[in-house]
A and B are shown apart, each in its own frame.
Chain A
Amino acid sequence: MVEWTAEERAAIQDIFNSLDYEDVGPKALQRCLIVYPWCQRYFGGFGNLYNAEAILSNPMVAAHGIVVLHGLDRAMKNMDDIKQTYAELSVLHSEKLHVDPDNFKLLADCLSVVIAGKMGTNFTPEIQAAWQKFLSVVVSALGRQYH
């Protein structure tokens, strides 16, 4: 089981409390599709993803970014059992969406970059450590049910 210090819980809670889902969600997914273009393979039905400008103005990408970010809410509310909380989502990503679990880390990295951009120096080293630890637990849980 993952151990969380009080400081880590507080850091993660703080980030979620001030999270602008409508801004960060789209930005994180857009960045993922631009920086790691092979991720576009999962979004065949999203229309024009031909270049950065197209991705940045694509409404389906923006909408889906918000969906994905809200997906993190349940992990934040169940930090002591993220593995179980995400069992169903993991099955979904494996059996239905067929997403290579290595991609989860790529989106997580882009999310950290976007949050760093928004928080500036408030994104201290300690907060970064807590946040990346949280994301790595989420990533691990999402890949757990693959076989």
Chain B
Amino acid sequence: MSLSDKEKNTVKDFFAKVVSRSDDIGNESLTRLLVVYPQTKSYFAHWKETTPYSAPVKKHGITVMGGVYEAVSKIDDLKAGLLTLSELHAFMLRVDPVNFKLFNNCLLVVLSMLFPDDFTPQVHVAVDKFMALLSLALAEKYR
């Protein structure tokens, strides 16, 4: 399920449109991941707290969104573009890839919540596909 040129443009346009709220998107998405799927907290036992919208969550949300935007800029070759990030997740962080889907679910809900008029079904399908391909590229170096 690869992205058509039209879908790539849809993804790039949408993310460019919402970039000014990228920090909020990250904060909301990560907060929801930890609340809706509490098992994901297991990856953050080293944090002072994992409560909604707390400082470590906010900070890390920014980091994660940085990765998403990097992927948008490398949308034509995600596998090559996300190689370093994949190595990080595979060898150091060792996040089970099943969690990527959970994060993606939260991101989609947040995008719909914050941008109800822009997150049309057409944008939704393009972004959903993009996040799935991003997740695949992120899992590339796992085994």
A56 to B124, CA, bound (A): 14
B80 to chain A, nearest CB (A): 27
Question: Do A128 and B124 have beta carbons less than 8 Å apart?
Answer: no
A61 to chain B, nearest CB (A): 12
B46 to chain A, nearest CB (A): 22
Question: Do A31 and B121 have beta carbons less than 8 Å apart?
Answer: yes
A-B contact count (CB 8 A): 56
Please name all residues of chain A whose beta carbon is closer than 8 Å to the beta carbon of B31 when the two chains form the complex.
125
- Interface membership of B113, Cβ < 8 A: yes
Q: Report whether over half of chain A's contact residues are helix, strand or loop; otherwise say mixed.
A: helix
Question: Do B36 and A125 have beta carbons less than 8 Å apart?
Answer: yes
Question: Do B121 and A35 have beta carbons less than 8 Å apart?
Answer: yes
A45 to chain B, nearest CB (A): 22
Please name all residues of chain B whose beta carbon is closer than 8 Å to the beta carbon of A109 when the two chains form the complex.
105, 108
A116 to B128, CA, bound (A): 16
Question: Do B124 and A31 have beta carbons less than 8 Å apart?
Answer: yes
A138 to B25, CA, bound (A): 29
B9-32: which residues lie under 8 A (CB-CB) from chain A? 28, 31-32
Q: Across the two chains, which residue of chain A brings its CB closest to B128?
A: A35
- Interface membership of B109, Cβ < 8 A: yes
- Interface membership of B35, Cβ < 8 A: yes
Q: Using known A-B contacts A109-B105, A116-B109, determine if residue A34 contacts B116 with beta carbons closer than 8 Å.
A: no
Contact surface of B with A, Cβ cutoff 8 Å: 28, 31-32, 35-36, 52, 105, 108-110, 112-114, 116, 119, 121-122, 124-125, 128
Contact surface of A with B, Cβ cutoff 8 Å: 30-31, 34-35, 52, 55-56, 109, 112-114, 116-121, 123, 125-126, 128-129, 132
CB<8 Å pairs between A and B, sample of 27: A30-B121, A35-B124, A35-B128, A52-B121, A56-B121, A109-B108, A112-B109, A113-B108, A113-B109, A113-B112, A116-B113, A117-B112, A117-B113, A117-B116, A117-B119, A118-B116, A120-B113, A120-B114, A120-B116, A123-B113, A125-B28, A125-B52, A126-B35, A128-B36, A128-B109, A129-B35, A129-B36
